[in-house]
Amino acid sequence: MSVGEELLAARRVVVKVGSSSVSGDNAAQIPTLVSSLARLHGAGAEVILVSSGAIATGVPFLKIDERPDDLATQQAAAAVGQNILVNRYQRSLSSHDIVAGQVLLTAHDMENPTHRGNARRAIERLLQLGILPIINENDTVATHEIRFGDNDRLAALVARLVEADRLVLLSDVDALYTAPPTVVGAERIPHVPYGDELAGIEIGAAQSGWGTGGAATKVQAARLAADAGAHVLLTETRLFPAVLDGAAHGTRFDGRPETADQE
What are the residue ranges spanned by the domains of the chain? 3-262
pLDDT, tens digit (0-9, with 9 covering 90-100), for 23-62: 999 999 999 999 999 999 999 999 999 999 998 999 999 9
Tell me whether residue 92 is annotated as binding: no
Tell me whether residue 97 is annotated as binding: no
Tell me whether residue 171 is annotated as binding: yes
Q: Find, among 155, 149, 138, the residue nearest to 234 by Cα.
A: 155
Q: Find, among 104, 171, 112, the residue nearest to 140 by Cα.
A: 104
Average pLDDT in the chain: 89
The stretch 132-141 carries a mean pLDDT of 90
Give percent of the chain with pLDDT exceeding 70.
Answer: 91
Identify whether the C-beta of residue 221 lies closer than 8 Å to the C-beta of residue 149: no
pLDDT of residue 216: 83
Q: How far apart are CA 98 and CA 240, in angstroms?
A: 19
With left for phi above 0 and alpha for psi between -120 and 50, is residue 130 left, alpha or beta? left
pLDDT of residue 135: 96
Tell me whether residue 196 is annotated as binding: no
Q: How many CB atoms lie within 10 A of CB 37?
A: 26
User: Cβ contacts of residue 117 below 8 Å, gap of 6+?
Assistant: none
pLDDT of residue 144: 58
Q: How far apart are CA 185 and CA 16, in angstroms?
A: 28
Tell me whether residue 16 is annotated as binding: yes
Q: Give the architecture-level CATH label for domain 3-262.
A: 3-Layer(aba) Sandwich (3.40)
Q: Which has more pLDDT, 14 or 171?
A: 14
pLDDT, tens digit (0-9, with 9 covering 90-100), for 86-132: 999 999 999 999 999 999 998 888 889 999 999 999 999 999 999 99
Q: According to DSSP H, which parts of the chain are helical?
A: 3-8, 19-22, 30-42, 54-58, 71-94, 107-111, 113-128, 151-161, 214-226, 240-244
> Given pLDDT bands bounded at 50, 70 and 90, which one contains residue 182?
confident
pLDDT of residue 204: 61
User: Cβ contacts of residue 197 below 8 Å, gap of 6+?
Assistant: none
pLDDT of residue 189: 93
User: Cβ contacts of residue 240 below 8 Å, gap of 6+?
Assistant: 33, 36, 168, 170
pLDDT, tens digit (0-9, with 9 covering 90-100), for 184-209: 888 899 999 998 888 777 776 543 33
Q: For 61-101, what is the HEC assignment?
A: HHCCCCCCCCHHHHHHHHHHHHHHHHHHHHHHHHCCCCCEE
Tell me whether residue 52 is annotated as binding: yes
Global confidence as pTM: 0.92
Q: Find, among 43, 7, 10, 36, the residue nearest to 21 by Cα.
A: 36
Identify whether the C-beta of residue 165 lies closer than 8 Å to the C-beta of residue 11: yes
pLDDT of residue 262: 47
